[in-house]
């Protein structure tokens, strides 16, 4: 394992996966034994990265440069992208592009298969609590890996997102909420949950992001079935100032109780 | 990934052949950026013989389009085959970059 870059950087990770894919895969085979789910999964893996790049192009239409962004890894039915954000403003545009990708692709995907998708967007600072490194066996293909508690967090957090939703890590939500101009982005504090292996079992806030011009389409039964979706539908978004204050209090609490020294996300 | 370069009416025409993906994109970007640094302002990329273009390949085209725009230049794309056309349709890049059906049509547009 070799460290690849000592320069400080903030990486935004974006994970998108298919909800309830395990039960869908159990549903049977064609007569020729091709699994019925194969088309759906092939389409998902092919199309989502392309749709995201299209949304990146739109979000960054007025900028002179583009972030370094691409697929980091594919795990089962999950695609994880990584993008280096050089400022909170860039992080906002990346998050917006990812959110629009999840919501628009969810709507088109469910028209073709009885499947929904969901996403998670989180941020980690390197180096420090987290490290970026190369694996000698995969040096030829330029594969870079990331490890650390802030990286692991997202993989726990995505399971908390519901159909068509994008959930944010607290550090990213705080950085975006602190921006004076947020391109209409709204935040919803819908719950808090204990995430396995995260912050020594302390509850972690679940914050969803939405854009009023691009809301996920939900069936009534989906809202009835999920407390999180009912909260999203019934409660107004949390005020940005209140979210920044909430995140600050939670960070102080986690630092004290878990003996950590987590700081405000830097770029 | 093979890239052949020629000049027609002050336009650098690059014909890509093979896959433009995560592995080949860095080289493609390097070649295109070098042309811009040498002062080229009109670049046409012919994608007729491209087997597949991934999101990393789309990013290269977008970065180059932005680099050229900053120098009052222009990137045009031409001759999309069926596979590449589908990628552009899915991503929405057919509405983002100027695309021509053929090289001659693209050259007329500069």
The pLDDT of residue A18: 95
- pLDDT mean values, one per 10 residues, chain A (267 residues): 71 96 75 76 97 98 95 95 97 98 97 94 95 83 88 95 96 98 97 92 95 91 86 93 97 94 92
* Average pLDDT of the residues in B1-8: 96
C-alpha A208/C-alpha A188 separation (Å) is: 5
Q: Closest to A50 (Cβ–Cβ): which among B22, B55, B70? A: B55
The pLDDT of residue A88: 98
* pLDDT tens digits along B76-89: 999 999 999 999 99
C-alpha B45/C-alpha B100 separation (Å) is: 10
Residues of A with CB under 8 A from a CB of B: 46-47, 49-58, 63-66, 69-71, 141-142
Asked if the interface predicted TM-score (ipTM) of this complex is over 0.90, the answer is yes
C-alpha A189/C-alpha A85 separation (Å) is: 24
**Residue A127: is the preceding peptide bond cis (ω within 30°)?**
yes
The pLDDT of residue A31: 57
User: B55, A47: Cβ pair inside 8 Å?
Assistant: no
Residue B96 — pLDDT band, cuts 50, 70, 90? very high
A and B: number of Cβ contacts within 8 A: 58
User: A53, B58: Cβ pair inside 8 Å?
Assistant: yes
Residues of chain B with pLDDT > 70, as a percent, come to 100
C-alpha A182/C-alpha A185 separation (Å) is: 5
The pLDDT of residue A138: 79
Burial degree of A58 (CB within 10 A; 0-12, 13-18, 19+):
middle
The pLDDT of residue A1: 54
The pLDDT of residue A30: 59
Closest CA relative to residue A97, chosen from A47, A146, A58, A39 = A58
The pLDDT of residue A139: 72
pTM given for the model: 0.95
Contact (CB, 8 A) for A157 and A199? no
* 3-state DSSP assignment of residue A215: coil
User: A53, B96: Cβ pair inside 8 Å?
Assistant: no
The pLDDT of residue A29: 57
The pLDDT of residue A28: 61
The pLDDT of residue A4: 57
User: A57, B96: Cβ pair inside 8 Å?
Assistant: yes
Q: How far is B55 from chain A (nearest CA, A)?
A: 5
* pLDDT tens digits along B10-22: 999 999 999 999 9
User: Within 13 Å of residue A8, how many CA atoms lie on the same side as its CB?
Assistant: 7
């Amino acid at each position: 394992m070799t460290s690849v870059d000592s320069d400080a950087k903030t990486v935004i990770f974006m994970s998108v996966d298919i909800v309830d894919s395990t039960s869908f895969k159990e549903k049977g085979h064609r007569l020729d034994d091709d699994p019925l789910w194969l088309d759906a999964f092939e389409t998902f893996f092919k199309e989502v990265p392309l749709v995201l790049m299209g949304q990146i192009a739109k979000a960054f239409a007025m900028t002179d440069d583009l972030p370094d962004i691409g697929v980091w890894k594919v795990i089962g039915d999950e695609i994880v992208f990584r993008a280096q954000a050089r400022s909170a403003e860039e992080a906002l545009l990346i998050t917006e592009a990812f959110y629009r990708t999840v919501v628009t692709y969810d709507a088109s995907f469910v028209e073709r298969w009885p499947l929904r998708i969901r996403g998670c967007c989180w941020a980690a600072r390197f180096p420090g609590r987290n490290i970026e490194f190369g694996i000698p066996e995969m040096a030829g293909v330029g594969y870079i890996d990331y490890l650390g508690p802030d990286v692991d967090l997202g993989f726990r957090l995505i399971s908390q997102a519901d159909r068509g939703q994008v959930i944010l890590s607290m550090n990213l939500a705080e950085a975006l909420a602190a921006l004076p101009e947020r391109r209409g982005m709204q935040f919803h504090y819908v719950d808090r949950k204990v995430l396995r292996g995260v912050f020594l079992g302390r509850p972690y806030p679940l914050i969803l992001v939405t854009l009023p011009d691009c809301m996920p389409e939900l069936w009534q039964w989906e809202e009835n079935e999920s407390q999180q979706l009912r909260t999203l539908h019934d409660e107004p978004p949390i005020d940005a100032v209140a979210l920044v204050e909430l995140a600050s209090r939670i960070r102080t609490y986690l630092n004290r109780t878990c003996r950590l020294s987590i700081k405000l996300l830097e770029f | 990934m093979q890239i052949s370069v020629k000049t027609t009416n002050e336009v650098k025409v690059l014909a890509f052949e093979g896959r433009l993906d995560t592995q080949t994109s860095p080289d493609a970007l390097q070649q295109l950026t070098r042309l811009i640094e040498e002062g080229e302002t009109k670049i046409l990329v012919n994608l007729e013989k491209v087997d597949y273009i991934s999101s990393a390949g789309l990013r290269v085209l977008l970065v180059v389009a932005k680099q050229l725009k900053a120098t009052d230049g222009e990137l045009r794309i031409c001759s999309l085959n069926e596979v590449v056309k589908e990628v552009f349709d899915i991503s929405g890049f057919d509405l983002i970059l100027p695309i021509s059906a053929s090289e001659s049509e693209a050259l007329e547009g500069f």
